[in-house]
Amino acid sequence: MKRNIRLLIEYDGGRYRGWQKQGKNADADTIQGRLEQVLSRMTGEDVQLIGSGRTDAGVHALGQVANFHTDCGMSCGEIRDYLTRYLPADIGILKVSDAGERFHSRLNAAEKTYCYRIAVPGVPHVFDRKYLWHFPEPLDMKKMEQAADFLTGRHDFKGFSSIKRTKKSTVRELYAIDIEKKEKEILISFTGNGFLHNMVRILTGTLVEIGCGRKQPEDVLTVLQTKDRQDAGMTAPPQGLFLVSVKY
């Protein structure tokens, strides 16, 4: 029986076309492609890596989870050392472990947390400038928190996604949206049982439009009702978004 190896991965998505492999010839452009390249060379097998979910082009991860099946006899420590040696410096392996036979990174994911970083305008961000949304206007925290309260809970989030048509359910549960004002940035954390395509970025863009007064907190209730993408706010840019953790 093959081993089932679980990886905990962090990456700077800045120069990649996202997590998901785009095709046989574009391996180096995606995080999954890069990892499969190195894993296949390491094992001598054609490794298929299963991620907990996709991240868009330019989006980062502090705790992406993925798994793959292999006959490779290396210890977890040896696998980790091999990957650390041969992966580019913008992809890091935080943990390697043997998972149960039936573990599946995507299907078994029970809870995910994302965070989104927004720079306070006028304050320099020299060393983390590539990991923030530099939105130029001040934001009203109270209004954003009010909208966040409306969004928390079990809803059909179709209007907050870029999904056009689907037979699958677009109902998700948001357990918490925390908005924290720090000295130099506003940090928004989203925890839920799952997220639709672009959902965190559209939620963030909508919260920011509410924060700067272009929209009202109640407008999110309209989006939940009409389920129309047009009623929601802009899609926040990718570089401020981090997949923080996945729970099983």
CB of 182 to its own copies, least distance (A): 16
Asked if residue 160 binds its own copies (CB under 8 A), the reply is no
- Residues 81 to 100 in contact with its own copies, rule: CB under 8 A: 81, 84, 89-94
- Residues 209 to 248 in contact with its own copies, rule: CB under 8 A: none
Q: Select 107 or 126, whichever has its Cβ closest to its own copies.
A: 126
**Hey, is 183 helix, strand or coil?**
coil
Question: How many residues in the shown chain lie near its own copies by CB under 8 A?
Answer: 21
Q: Is 46 a catalytic residue?
A: no
State which amino acid sits at residue 71.
D
Question: Could you tell me if 133 and 185 are in contact, meaning their C-beta atoms sit under 8 angstroms apart?
Answer: no
- Residues 162 to 201 in contact with its own copies, rule: CB under 8 A: none
Q: Select 62 or 212, whichever has its Cβ closest to its own copies.
A: 62
- Residues 32 to 91 in contact with its own copies, rule: CB under 8 A: 60, 81, 84, 89-91
Q: Select 83 or 174, whichever has its Cβ closest to its own copies.
A: 83
**For the residues of 53-90, what is the DSSP string, one character each?**
S---TT-EEEEEEEEEEE-----HHHHHHHHHHHS-TT
Asked if residue 12 binds its own copies (CB under 8 A), the reply is yes
Asked if residue 125 binds its own copies (CB under 8 A), the reply is yes
Q: Residues 6 or more apart from 70 whose CB is under 8 A from it?
A: 2, 3, 5, 39, 43, 45, 47
Question: Could you tell me if 141 and 178 are in contact, meaning their C-beta atoms sit under 8 angstroms apart?
Answer: no
**Hey, is 32 helix, strand or coil?**
helix
Nearest to 51 by CA among 63, 41, 61, 65: 65
CB of 174 to its own copies, least distance (A): 27
Question: Could you tell me if 90 and 98 are in contact, meaning their C-beta atoms sit under 8 angstroms apart?
Answer: no
Name the one range near its own copies by CB under 8 A: 7-15, 16-24, 162-170, 233-241.
Answer: 7-15
H/E run at residue 19: none
The sign of the torsion formed by the CA atoms of 34, 38, 39, 41 equals positive
Distance CA 116, CA 108 (A): 24
Q: Select 91 or 177, whichever has its Cβ closest to its own copies.
A: 91
Q: Select 22 or 84, whichever has its Cβ closest to its own copies.
A: 84
Distance CA 232, CA 138 (A): 20
Q: Is 16 annotated as a binding residue?
A: no
Considering 46, 56, 128, 219, which one is annotated as catalytic?
56
Question: Could you tell me if 156 and 171 are in contact, meaning their C-beta atoms sit under 8 angstroms apart?
Answer: yes
Question: Which residues are documented as binding site?
Answer: 114
Question: Which residues are documented as binding site for substrate?
Answer: 114
User: Which amino acids are annotated catalytic?
Assistant: 56
**Given the rule CB under 8 A, which residues bind its own copies?**
10-12, 60, 81, 84, 89-94, 122, 124-129, 131, 134
